[in-house]
Structure 1
Amino acid sequence: MTAASRSSRHPLTPLTPFTGPAVLALLAACATPPPAAAPAAPATVAVAATPPAAASGPAAAASGPAAAASGPAARPPGAAAAPSPGQPPAFATVIRDAKRSEGLFVVWRKDEKVWFELKPADFDKPFFLSPKLASGIGEASIFGGTMARPQVVEFRRLHNLVQLLALNTAYIAKPATPEARALAASYSPSLLASTAVASLPHPQRGTVLVDASALFVADLLQIAPQLQRSYRQGYGFDARNSGVTTVRGKPDMLVLEVTSHFATAVIAVPTPGTPPGPSPTAPRTLPDARSMFVNVHYSLAKLPEQVMPARAADPRIGHFVHLQHDFGDDLARTPKLRHVARWRLEKKDPAAALSEPVKPITYWIDRTVPVKYRGAISEGILEWNKAFERIGFKDAVVVKVQPDDADFDTLDFGVASVRWMVNASPSFGAIGPRHVDPRSGEILDADIAFESLSSRNVRSYRSRILGGSDAGATQAAWAELLQVGRPAGAAAAAQGHAAALAQGLGHPHDALCQHATFGAEQLAYGLDVLAAQGELEPDSPEAEAFVLAFLKDTAMHEVGHTLGLRHNFRASRIYTEAQLADPEFTRANGLTGSVMEYPAINLPRPGERRAAPFQTTLGPYDYWAIEYAYKPLGATDEAAELKRIAARNAEPELAFGTDEDHFFGIDPDSLQSDLGREPLAFARKRFEIAQDLFRRQERRTLSPDEDYGALRRALRFAVIDAGRAAGTVLRQVGGVRTLRDFPNSGRDPLQPVPPAEQRAAMALLSRHVLAADSLVISPALQRRLAPDYLERGDSVLFGDDEVPTDYPLAQALHEMRRAVLTQLMSDALAVRVLDSEAKAARPAEAFPLTELYKRLENDVWSELGGKGDIPAPRRELQREHLNRLAAALLRPGGGLRADARSLWRSQAQGLLPRLEAATRRPELSEAARVHLKDSADTLRAALAAPLQRAGV
């Protein structure tokens, strides 16, 4: 068959089959499968109550992974042995005494054997392969209920070899054209698995039997490498103790569930004296860390026969897009086509202003979801009907609850669901991934996952910041918390990590969604603050309503992802502080312009009225984004109407900025954990709430049945929230608003923060972060900050997150100030401030770098101009400033601008005599005097050191 003839009947323009003696010889050489893919002892076909047991414990499986590890070096993954000489057995011989079941394919089952019956028309035909994890291990991101990367696949027959191929759908051209022929010669499919034909053709139907285990009892999802990376152990796939456990057929789908065994012969332990670096660890959730079972749920389904019309993406609105390269138009600026991801939604009555859809978007609440939370989750899902009603759809979104005795699985392809997880090591809080038809961007399936509401999902993050033993990790955690700028290399690394996740169990955008994790932390902090203010009892119905509001907020956010919407981190800026303090306004309008935000919880100052804490209704942006993706449009006027819709982006309530706008740390509006139009007013309020909570812990009386860990937890949340407020302020200094405008908006796309706002931001940092009295705690309270001794015991006995005995509050505050100082003295910020000077409409009013450095010096070294001693926390901050100043003189960064380098030297020359003069003050303690002398010596040596000047 020629490439042109195949392309003419194949909507995905697949590639030409391999032909020619050389290629056939290569296939023959690669025909022997790796042992890991060979189904030596598949399990029974009936649903197993327990996974198949290893013959003699985990050690017995060692030969499987070891053999598997050596196979891929010589053969492609999934390759199987060539047929034995002679013909395969007759069809009737193979299926004798086997049980037949109907579905997408006829399936025959006998004992542990499972065969597909493939018709000639089933070969070279695209199918959608939707893999998911039906069970996991509760850690290492191997969680039961998660979606894995889908593939468009086809069966290809090469003589007596049947191959399961993953088609290359990213590159397309019009079928039966020269471009299609060139495309077929340029890009390859991938071999997932292969096996010999199991029978001769059926004498009447012409069908052949294919061993299902040979194709699917294998590590298709690359779980073993993920285990190896996570634990630094030699885990491998053990085919001998793996097998097909469930087969279910439907007219348009075949479901197989495979119990996959992974094992290692021994568990490696860290070796004393080894160089620094990742050390071997072991799973903590298994009875024996050498062995684990992971059930993989495969759905093999028909693709929609009628391809849904694709809708072009627009950068002014945030939708997930499916990317293809169309080589059919050489005159296009780029071959890239970006299609909006969306469900197929069509009116029953196209002429009606409001019509039910032909097929609604139906979400099933899985039977794993706790009953008490189903109502709030359902409300969050159905809230989206408001946006669809505005574009003419009635009841576009439907919610159903899976019965306890249901005979279907919500993991089946095409069943959108909401599931509950109780992972031992939560990592995402909630997630809303999708499976998409690559031809059009049509969303075909989605499975939202909620992790348990336990605060475990934020413990690890808090421990890295508060009390972690690794100073580098602590500073990295603070940098992440402050949301400061990342260099381009870090961005590329993050994108590469996301892409790696996309190749296996995750998705590039979903892997970065932390809405629920952040929201759970904010929920806990809000309950602490309101309890401390006497506004809320922790076990009251009001507290329960708090939790349900958080769940509805999270459900709306994750459903938004499954409808095709990306994050919108600029949406938090549309309402004023007065509006956010109004209970009636917030309940009617929410807190932000979009549920796709990560807004801070809406907390009152002490004595103020309490407004809505979470976003429980759609924002204006959400209506707009749904209109763009789902509004019914005729083919002739679609392009013009989409441009008209997108051109509204300059309207303030439709403000949009997404992950990449936030990630690079330049835009002061596109960031997480802020709230309100006035960012400095918001930060000031959060500083005041944190300081008030600090004061209330001083006089807090614990009940006899409480432990002192309650005090520590409240202060932890306060420090973290103050750090986030500091990050909001930091983004204003040198910030550049990056608007996604087209030229018709009348706005410049790059807008430096006004100088007055930058000066106000520096003043706020000076008062609430860099000042010695910004967050203080008495010695008496410090003596009461005992740990939760049960948690501390768990950290020692069971490897849980580290719980220090002594609460290092002073160190935590120092690390926060240090992170702020690092950002303010960074080369990247210096470049942005200098560039903002050049962009200023009125140069005389610009915020110059000289002013930034002078203000910072005065804030850090304020004691030089006064009287009295210099406290220890201030000495630490001053030493940090001095070390960075000296380093800039001795080893200036390659990207440092000439003006910045000159300013550093000038500042050092001016600071040195001030240090020398201060050392003579009689009221200084000996520690302060030594600190000043050593600082002066450091600065003097740095100024005297020879310089490596460019061009000399």
Structure 2
Amino acid sequence: MARLRAGSSAGSPLRLSLLALAAGLALSGCATPADPAGQAKPAAAPAAAAKPAAAASASAGAAPAAPAAPAARPPGQPQPFAAVIKDAQRFEGLFTVYQKDDKVWIELAPEDLNKSFLFSPKFSRGIGEKMLYGGLMTGTWGPQLGNAQLAQFRRVHNQVQLVALNTEFTAKTGTPNARGIERSYSPSLLGSVAVASQPHPERKSILIEANNLFLADTLGLGVALNRAFRQNYALDRGNTSFVSVRASSEGVFIDTQQHFATATLAAAQPPTPGAPPSPLPQPSTPRAVPDARSLFMGVHYTLMKLPEAPMQARSTDARLGHFRTLRFDFSDDLARTPAQRLLQRWRLEKKDPAAAVSEPVKPITFWIDRNVPHEYREAMTAGVLEWNKAFERAGFKNAVVVKVQGEQDSFDTLDGNVASLRWMNNIEPSFGAIGPSHVDPRSGEILDADIGFEGLSSRNLRALRAQVLPNTSPAEWGELLQARDAQREGLLGTPPAAHTHTEACQYGAHATEQLGLALDVLASRGELDPDGPEARAFVMEYVKDVTMHEVGHTLGLRHNFRSSQVYTDAQLSKLDFTTATGLAGSVMEYAPINLPAPGQPRGTYFQSTLGPYDYWVIEYAYKPLPREHEAAELQKIAARSAEPQLAYGTDEDNFLGIDPDSLHFDLGKDPVAFARKRIEIARDLIAKQETRSLKPSEDYAVLRRAVSYGVRDVARAAGVLARQIGGLRTLRDFPGSGRDPMQPVEAKRQREALDLIGKGLLAADAFTLSPALQRRLAPDYLERGDALSSGMPVSTDFSLSGMVLDLQRALLAQLMSDGVAARILDSEGKFEKRAEAFRLSELYQRLSQDVWSELGAGSDIPLARRELQREHANRLASTLLRPAAGSRADARSLVRAEARALLTRVKASPRAALSAEARAHLDDVAETLELALQAKLQRTGL
């Protein structure tokens, strides 16, 4: 193995680089300076054969010397092979690689051309923000940042192209359809270089210079940086260099350091007084680099050998949650659709095919990177190895193995053939933990996976994420909830796509906040010392939980958001039960921490083991089956989907916003009872802050954080309740299960949810703080100063009423939306007896009663209630004046009737005991409703 140091020269300061960029100088031909010794950094000793990606050592050394007197070559012809690589180091592997100073060449034999390999780029170093994180698979947020692809070297005259193949569209080789596919769909050019040498006299191979392929902006990082910061960053080739070059029989591994710079920095434009904020993104600068004009990104490239024979593909089934590789096979014109969905899984083969349970020929090996703190390694290992329980039922013993990268190991866990768990210390936490993978598109075989844990997931830094670092303050939660629900109803465009391998899993981020909530709840009750050994054990349970979840993704499993409802609250309150079974039917759930209500017994806090669904989904993906019987056997396995403990619903079932069971952070069979319990816990937490005694070493931000956690968790509980109203269960059963796949929520449950919303969340006394506590809810002034200096929004005052009002507005936005109205109206036809259905008129009447409970009581109307009432009246008026094109006629009629009834109540309400503000409020609402009811509308459909 050979390594090159990141090129930098004492005579080439940053400002010269910037001036060169500004002047448009052609830097692509500049040589990277050698290290102070004038030589390339020598290679490290090859690792033992047992280590992955060990550099080939038998052939390392100087290349054959060039002839003493080479024959003169014709003008324009490349140099002889030996002359190009004279005095270069040689590394044999998938491709033979040569390195001399700042130059790297790849030798391509005739058989290497047009031969497919996996092109796998990753970020080896980052900037700590904007998802430009060191250790991240570059395709995590989509192919625009270079997802893994099948690629080939192709020679076109004296150019060699690095081409990404189009694997999504295919047909049987040698058929007319295959010829049509070739002409219908294009590959992509990743890079192109001139042939650098004449053919080798014996091997007939040629050389290409790798610099122009791997020191170029192949991934489009410049575009990504400009999109993130709105600055004119461009690659600076003169200060871009190789860090290391290695080769083995499995692949070629090239690590580079790429310098991006801009000569000037654009500044955000100040808002025009009186004008609305500009909808266009404003320029910003990276917060975590010393000089925003200059930054380095590390890109690690693997050119990885593909399996000689593609793995036997297995089709996905909608009743279970597996990631899939989508391709369109046009071989059969009579097929209903050319779409094929290949299940993504690792290749596991039994050493003893005849044994019921056998060790695999090659286990799935996860390496814990040496950058993972020592204190978390044991918990991570336990989380990985937990999956062996499921594999054993599928016929494999010790299918999953964990190893720890040693300090002397020469391989990199970013190598394309090394699955890893690694640590990321990002200033801008984005996902908590993430589990992406790279896949062979020919078969769905998983070839590589890199699980990333963000350092801010750890207990000792949790407050930074919840209090200071996020761009969203606690008071903005209600606005986010409203925007999310509006998006679900189609008001903000297309709903989010389902989670795939190229998207981030948010479980780690949400679980981090749940961890902070739980620690504050238990500390406030006196059940846990946040700095004691119990808290450390508590955090280790969390790490194992998150590890199991992310490893599940790298094994090919999707989220399962319906599995949280397989156990009752009574079962979840028993420690022995939850220790044996876990909290949910699957670790692929977004399960909240299992907190007991005040004074109640508790089960385990976290998911500590696999659930029944996890065994089932692994069996479907990995159980060895004879090819001739595979389809029938898979159908038998999938046909168990109606078993209660195998309940499955995934991202799209959640994001579409209609299924009341496929939810984030609900727990137990009865979602209304769960929400009631969490609201009780949150209120208890907030109440305990009134008398909480702080140590002299603590500041008042402890109280502020606890109240914030409580309100946030109430918002989550409110989302669970709101989903019940107009909810429609979307089961994935096939015929024969005994269940109908489309089931509206029972009227009884919808009424229970509406009762809790009205009496618990829309009530005047939903949340209250004493004046004394409100005066103590100060921010952490040091953290506030840090945040302000970095340009982040920070609120000094703490407005509980504002947070609660945001939540109440979000609830009204959801419950009074056209989508909920349509589902309630449509559900009437899904009941055998229409009297069993929940009616839209009941929803509107109940909301008016709860929001306007002060009318007729003769008491004053507080400020918070006036604002909520205006929100309700304005929504009624808006529906009357500006009905959406797709709104239902019955819904509009009911809104008109409700507006008339409310106007009558407002006018008849006694005013004598009211404040001047309350009297003006009622007069204003009455005028708003009168004008809306009197307005003449041009109706459609008459």
What TM-score do the two structures reach when normalised by structure 1? 0.90
C-alpha displacement of 1:667: 0.2
Instruction: Name the SS of the counterpart of 1:863 in structure 2.
Output: coil
CA deviation map 1:758-791 (0-9, x unaligned) = 1111001011100111211111110111111111
C-alpha displacement of 1:174: 1.2
Q: Distance in 2 between matches of 1:475 and 1:849?
A: 24
C-alpha displacement of 1:244: 2.0
Instruction: Name the SS of the counterpart of 2:472 in structure 1.
Output: helix
Q: Which residue of 1 aligns with 2:175?
A: 177
Q: Which residue of 1 aligns with 2:334?
A: 331
Change (3 A) 1:332 1:682: same
Aligned-CA RMSD value? 2.1
Instruction: Name the SS of the counterpart of 2:125 in structure 1.
Output: coil
**Contact 1:434–1:444 (CA under 8 A) maintained in structure 2:** yes
Q: 1:100 aligns with which of 90, 94, 102?
A: 90
C-alpha displacement of 1:479: 2.8
**Contact 2:155–2:161 (CA under 8 A) maintained in structure 1:** yes
**Contact 1:58–1:291 (CA under 8 A) maintained in structure 2:** no
Instruction: Name the SS of the counterpart of 1:759 in structure 2.
Output: helix
C-alpha displacement of 1:290: 0.7
C-alpha displacement of 1:841: 2.1
Q: Distance in 2 between matches of 1:256 and 1:485?
A: 43
Q: Which residue of 2 aligns with 1:943?
A: 933
Q: Which residue of 2 aligns with 1:501?
A: none
Instruction: Name the SS of the counterpart of 1:364 in structure 2.
Output: strand
CA deviation map 1:289-316 (0-9, x unaligned) = 0111111111101110011100010011
C-alpha displacement of 1:113: 1.2
C-alpha displacement of 1:377: 0.3
Q: Distance in 1 between matches of 2:267 and 2:205?
A: 53
C-alpha displacement of 1:606: 1.3
Q: 1:153 aligns with which of 151, 154, 158?
A: 151
Q: Which residue of 2 aligns with 1:125?
A: 115
Q: 1:186 aligns with which of 184, 187, 190?
A: 184
C-alpha displacement of 1:219: 1.2
**Counterpart amino acid of 1:48?**
R
Change (3 A) 1:489 1:467: closer
Change (3 A) 1:891 1:87: same
Q: Distance in 2 between matches of 1:662 and 1:461?
A: 27
**Contact 1:462–1:716 (CA under 8 A) maintained in structure 2:** no
CA deviation map 1:384-433 (0-9, x unaligned) = 00001112111000000100121111111111000001011110100000
Q: Distance in 2 between matches of 1:210 and 1:869?
A: 83
Q: Which residue of 2 aligns with 1:598?
A: 590
Q: Distance in 2 between matches of 1:743 and 1:70?
A: 65
CA deviation map 1:585-619 (0-9, x unaligned) = 01111000000000111001111223101001000
**Counterpart amino acid of 2:837?**
A
Q: Distance in 1 between matches of 2:572 and 2:626?
A: 40
Instruction: Name the SS of the counterpart of 1:857 in structure 2.
Output: helix
Q: Distance in 1 between matches of 2:554 and 2:524?
A: 38
Q: Which residue of 2 aligns with 1:56?
A: 13
**Contact 1:484–1:731 (CA under 8 A) maintained in structure 2:** no
**Counterpart amino acid of 1:310?**
A
**Counterpart amino acid of 2:804?**
L
Instruction: Name the SS of the counterpart of 2:297 in structure 1.
Output: strand
**Counterpart amino acid of 1:926?**
A
The more displaced of 250-259 and 633-642 is 250-259
Q: Which residue of 2 aligns with 1:390?
A: 393
Change (3 A) 1:802 1:391: same
Q: Distance in 2 between matches of 1:487 and 1:508?
A: 22
CA deviation map 1:346-398 (0-9, x unaligned) = 11001111111000000001000010110000000000000011121110000
Q: Which residue of 1 aligns with 2:65?
A: none
Q: Which residue of 2 aligns with 1:199?
A: 197
Q: Which residue of 2 aligns with 1:466?
A: 474
**Counterpart amino acid of 1:247?**
V
Instruction: Name the SS of the counterpart of 2:599 in structure 1.
Output: coil
C-alpha displacement of 1:520: 0.6
Q: Which residue of 2 aligns with 1:867?
A: 858
Alignment of 1:127-526 (within 5 A): 127-148=117-138, 149-273=147-271, 276=278, 277-452=280-455, 453=458, 454-455=461-462, 456-459=464-467, 464-467=472-475, 475-479=478-482, 486-488=488-490, 490=492, 492=494, 494-495=496-497, 508-526=500-518
Q: Distance in 2 between matches of 1:393 and 1:606?
A: 44
**Contact 1:427–1:457 (CA under 8 A) maintained in structure 2:** no
Q: Which residue of 2 aligns with 1:815?
A: 806
**Counterpart amino acid of 1:624?**
W
Q: Which residue of 1 aligns with 2:3?
A: 46
Q: Distance in 1 between matches of 2:296 and 2:699?
A: 39
Q: Which residue of 1 aligns with 2:915?
A: 925
Are residues 1:667 and 2:675 paired?
no
Q: Which residue of 2 aligns with 1:852?
A: 843
C-alpha displacement of 1:839: 1.4
C-alpha displacement of 1:867: 2.5
Instruction: Name the SS of the counterpart of 2:3 in structure 1.
Output: coil
Q: Distance in 1 between matches of 2:268 and 2:486?
A: 35
Instruction: Name the SS of the counterpart of 1:511 in structure 2.
Output: coil
C-alpha displacement of 1:55: 2.3
Q: Which residue of 1 aligns with 2:32?
A: none
CA deviation map 1:837-876 (0-9, x unaligned) = 2212210121111111000100001111323111111111
Q: Distance in 1 between matches of 2:327 and 2:193?
A: 31
C-alpha displacement of 1:46: 3.0
**Contact 2:4–2:101 (CA under 8 A) maintained in structure 1:** no
C-alpha displacement of 1:712: 0.3
Q: 1:736 aligns with which of 710, 728, 736?
A: 728
Q: Which residue of 1 aligns with 2:59?
A: none
**Contact 2:236–2:261 (CA under 8 A) maintained in structure 1:** yes
C-alpha displacement of 1:695: 1.2
Q: Distance in 2 between matches of 1:96 and 1:901?
A: 83
Are residues 1:570 and 2:562 paired?
yes
**Contact 2:478–2:803 (CA under 8 A) maintained in structure 1:** no
**Counterpart amino acid of 2:206?**
V
C-alpha displacement of 1:65: 8.2
Q: Which residue of 2 aligns with 1:649?
A: 641
Instruction: Structure 2: state its 5+ residue gaps.
Output: 29-72, 139-146
Q: Distance in 1 between matches of 2:686 and 2:660?
A: 28
Are residues 1:640 and 2:635 paired?
no
Count of matched residue positions in the alignment of Structure 1 and Structure 2: 880
Change (3 A) 1:101 1:537: same
Q: Distance in 1 between matches of 2:175 and 2:921?
A: 78
Q: Distance in 1 between matches of 2:486 and 2:573?
A: 28
Q: Distance in 2 between matches of 1:67 and 1:176?
A: 49
Instruction: Name the SS of the counterpart of 1:666 in structure 2.
Output: coil
**Contact 1:54–1:61 (CA under 8 A) maintained in structure 2:** no
C-alpha displacement of 1:923: 1.1
**Contact 1:45–1:244 (CA under 8 A) maintained in structure 2:** no
Q: Distance in 1 between matches of 2:550 and 2:656?
A: 24
Change (3 A) 1:923 1:752: same
Instruction: Name the SS of the counterpart of 2:448 in structure 1.
Output: strand
C-alpha displacement of 1:921: 2.9
**Contact 1:354–1:394 (CA under 8 A) maintained in structure 2:** yes
Instruction: Name the SS of the counterpart of 2:820 in structure 1.
Output: helix
Q: Distance in 2 between matches of 1:463 and 1:296?
A: 28
Q: Distance in 1 between matches of 2:938 and 2:448?
A: 60
Change (3 A) 1:815 1:488: closer
Q: Distance in 2 between matches of 1:619 and 1:65?
A: 59
**Counterpart amino acid of 2:257?**
T
Q: Distance in 2 between matches of 1:152 and 1:68?
A: 34
Q: Which residue of 2 aligns with 1:32?
A: none
What TM-score do the two structures reach when normalised by structure 2? 0.91
Change (3 A) 1:480 1:351: farther
**Counterpart amino acid of 1:227?**
L
Q: Distance in 2 between matches of 1:191 and 1:66?
A: 29
**Contact 2:434–2:504 (CA under 8 A) maintained in structure 1:** no
**Counterpart amino acid of 1:218?**
A
Q: Distance in 2 between matches of 1:256 and 1:463?
A: 36
**Contact 1:766–1:859 (CA under 8 A) maintained in structure 2:** yes
